[in-house]
Structure 1
Amino acid sequence: MTQNETPSQQPEHPEQPQTTGEAAAATTGADPLESQLRAEIEALRSEIEQLRMDALRERADLDNQRKRMARELEQARRFANERLLGDLLPVLDSLDAGLAAAGAEGGPLKEGLELTYRQLMKVAGDHGLSVVDPVGQPFDPERHQAISQADPGEAAPGSVLQVFQKGYMLHDRLLRPALVVVARHD
């Protein structure tokens, strides 16, 4: 560079970088290829994101199915004895009737019946069976079946006066409703 030349008047040399306009002119042939590559990259990114979302959805579905199967298995375990216990209810009714017929009399026969009844109820209770004996309680159509109505006397209207047949629950499910007489509403 001479003293009279200013930096802007310097001659161009091939080793100097090109200006932005020159770079754009040199890459105009590569521009469609670059935009095509960018579009492909973006399409692949969206496909990866879609696959990731699908995998998360599938994992959630599998987790929900596993939980549902565990609940159904637990319900099956809890109520597996439902049929057997239902078949034993007439036996319990017969023991109740035998104890009622024995009355207040003591004796080895009544004691044997009571012992048998208690043992049977303990075994049934260990498997989730409970008695619905609602004398004096308000009538509950979910657990009781009214077979008649009677004058309330001292009892509150709508309460259970007498139980003809005990009801039974298996865990939280009604196995058989109690057959009851309900106090009439005046």
Structure 2
Amino acid sequence: MLARHVLTKSRAIAAASAKRSFFRSSLVMTEKKEGEGETAAPAAEEAAPEDPVAALTAEVEALKAKNAELSDKVLRALADAENVRRISRQDVNNAREFSISKFAKSLLDVSDNLKRAHESITLEEMSPEHSLVAIKSLHEGVVMTDKELQKVFNSYGINSVGAVGDKFDPNFHEAMFEYPDEKQTPGTIGQLLKVGYSIHSRCLRPAQVGIIKAPPAQQ
């Protein structure tokens, strides 16, 4: 009986000790979880999303700055384009006004020769007894001037077109009339009324000509 009593008491003591240990463990676990919760709360607060209004405001400001930069670039490009147009207009005006300066300067020598030919004939030389000499001198001066003029023309790619016997070319010749002539080839130039000129293979002024046509018996 005594032994059974001692055993029963020992079991009771062990059970009570186990309850106290379980209670202590539960208490420790509860405190640990509460501590972890308190530690996690600030972390959760730190990970909270950024204020959307502030984010939108920053984005708007960035777009405003970008827009201002692009506007400045556009204004600069427009200003550069206007400068280019202004310079181009000035170049065109200069070309229109002064493009023939070199050509005109070359013709000054021709003008000088004409003046010298005119001044070479005195009133005395124009008298009947000297008229032949004066005419000869004038003719020589005119021939010299024409040669000088043709030389200037050639230097600029200007050449005379149209000569008696040449085949009629509507691109360089202007037919003023037609007439038959058995001694000449039909379709060729029979008379040259005004010399024509070409410039670098283009017609500058057509030659005015009379064209040979076939006699009636050959038509």
| AA matched with 2:180 | D
Of 160, 163, 171, the match for 2:189: 160
Number of residue pairs the alignment of both structures matches: 149
CA–CA separation in structure 2 for the residues paired with 1:80 and 1:68: 19
Q: Which residue of 2 aligns with 1:122?
A: 147
Query: What pairs up with 1:15-34 in 2 under 5 angstroms?
Result: 18-19=46-47, 22=48, 24-25=49-50, 27-34=51-58
Structure having greater relative contact order (Cα 8 Å, sep ≥ 6): 1
Partner of 2:71: 47
Higher helix proportion (structure 1 or 2) = 2
SS in 2 for 1:138: coil
User: Structure 1 length as normaliser, TM-score?
Assistant: 0.55
Judged with a 3 Å threshold, the aligned counterparts in structure 2 of structure 1 residues 111 and 168 are, in CA distance, closer, same or farther, namely: farther
C-alpha distance after superposition, 1:95-137 (max 9, x if no partner): xxxxxxxxxxxx8566424412222213433553764442222
User: Retained in 1: the 8 A contact 2:161–2:197?
Assistant: yes
Distance 1:131 1:108 in 2: 31
The answer to whether the 8 A contact 1:132-1:166 is kept is no
Check 1:29–1:132 CA distance in 2 against 1; reply closer, same or farther (3 A cut): closer
CA RMSD of aligned residues (A): 4.1
Supply the distance in 1 between the matched residues of 2:150 and 2:180 (Cα, whole angstroms): 35
Match of residue 112 from structure 1: 137
TM-score (norm 2): 0.49
Q: Is the 8 A contact 2:160 2:198 kept in 1?
A: no
Q: Separation in 1 of the partners of 2:57 and 2:174?
A: 82
Query: Is the Cα–Cα contact under 8 Å of residues 197 and 207 in structure 2 kept in the other structure?
Result: no
Residues 52/63 of structure 1: CA separation in 2 closer, same or farther (3 Å cut): same
Identity over aligned pairs, percent: 18
Task: Could you tell me which runs of 5 or more consecutive residues in structure 1 were left unpaired when the two chains were aligned.
Answer: 86-106
1:142-182 deviations in whole A, cap 9, x for unaligned? Answer: 5433332122546443221121x33254967746x543211
